[in-house]
Amino acid sequence: MLGAIGRAPRHLFVDEALQERAYEDRPLPIGHGQTISHPSTVALMTEALEIDRTSRVLEVGTGSGYQSAVLAGLCANVYSIERIAPLAARARRLLDELGHYNVAIQVGDGTIGWKAEAPFDAVVVTAAGPRPPAPLFAQLRAGGRLVVPLGDEQSQALVRYRLTGDGDVEEEILGDCRFVKLVGRYGFSH
Ligand code: SAH
């Protein structure tokens, strides 16, 4: 997993003026009021997904495409949804340049998921919502994991849900975190 972090050239995913700071372990602005996560946060979330070469992964919040690039190197297919069209377009261009053709990107509200490509082995939400979006559970296969930051601007926790074989959901708190807002039908309203 650390290999995939090492191979993703983070400097390409931030604005040119910030490129020399791209390898500091801190979030950086990517435009439109959004940020690229800490590399350590990307590592934690990626590990929490428990994916392998055969996994199909849904990402909500493409942003710069950095986390998508890390996931692309570790699993079979990444389906990523971004609500801000210019961010999705820039991520698409970069991922193509890097040869990550196993990443599909859609512009829209990721809180409703990507029904046509479900079920997923794992779902990662890279923006913080008030509660886990219900449609994302419905799009997980049995045994699947949903990793999502929950909370408001003051305090957030990274949470992992696991769908058990008999349809129950297990919840684990993985730690404190800080993300931009998840805005959508099953997120915040603005
Ligand atoms: N994974 C990204 C992190 C970007 S920040 C990276 O590696 O760069 C989170 C992103 O989630 C932002 O780009 C924001 O626009 C997006 N977002 C917020 N709410 C969303 C929603 N409902 N659907 C899709 N994207 C959303």
Q: Is 21 a domain residue?
A: yes
Which residues lie with the beta carbon below 6 Å from any ligand 1 atom?
30, 34-37, 60-61, 63-64, 66-67, 81-84, 87, 109-111, 126-127, 180, 182-184, 187
Express each pLDDT in 119-130 by its tens digit: 999 999 999 999
Q: Which atom from ligand 1 is nearest to the alpha carbon of 81? A: 24
* Mean pLDDT within 93-117: 97
For residue 35, name the pLDDT band (cuts at 50, 70, 90). Answer: very high
Q: Which of the pair, 165 or 42, is modelled with greater confidence?
A: 42
Q: Encoding tokens for residue 113?
A: 């998921």
Q: Is 95 a domain residue?
A: yes
Measure the CA–CA gap between 40 and 57, rounded to whole angstroms: 20
Quick check: 44 and 70 in contact, CB under 8 A?
no
* Mean pLDDT within 25-34: 89
Residue 5: how many other CB atoms lie within 10 Å = 18
Q: How many residues does the chain have?
A: 190
Residue whose CA is closest, atom 17 of ligand 1? Answer: 61
Express each pLDDT in 8-25 by its tens digit: 899 999 888 888 899 888
Q: Is 190 a domain residue?
A: no
Q: Is 125 a domain residue?
A: yes
Instruction: Tell me how far CA of residue 36 lies from CA of 119, 142, 166, in angstroms.
Output: 27, 31, 36
Quick check: 100 and 69 in contact, CB under 8 A?
yes
Element (H, E) at 92: helix 85-97
> What residues are labeled active site?
37
Residue whose CA is closest, atom 4 of ligand 1? Answer: 63
Domain range spanning residue 109? 2-176
Quick check: 87 and 62 in contact, CB under 8 A?
yes
Q: Per-residue b/e over 158-181, b at no fewer than 16 CB within 10 Å?
A: bbbbbbeeeeeeeeeeeeebbbbb
Q: What is the CATH number of the domain that holds 94?
A: 3.40.50.150
Measure the CA–CA gap between 56 and 75, rounded to whole angstroms: 7
Domain count for the chain, please give it.
Answer: 1
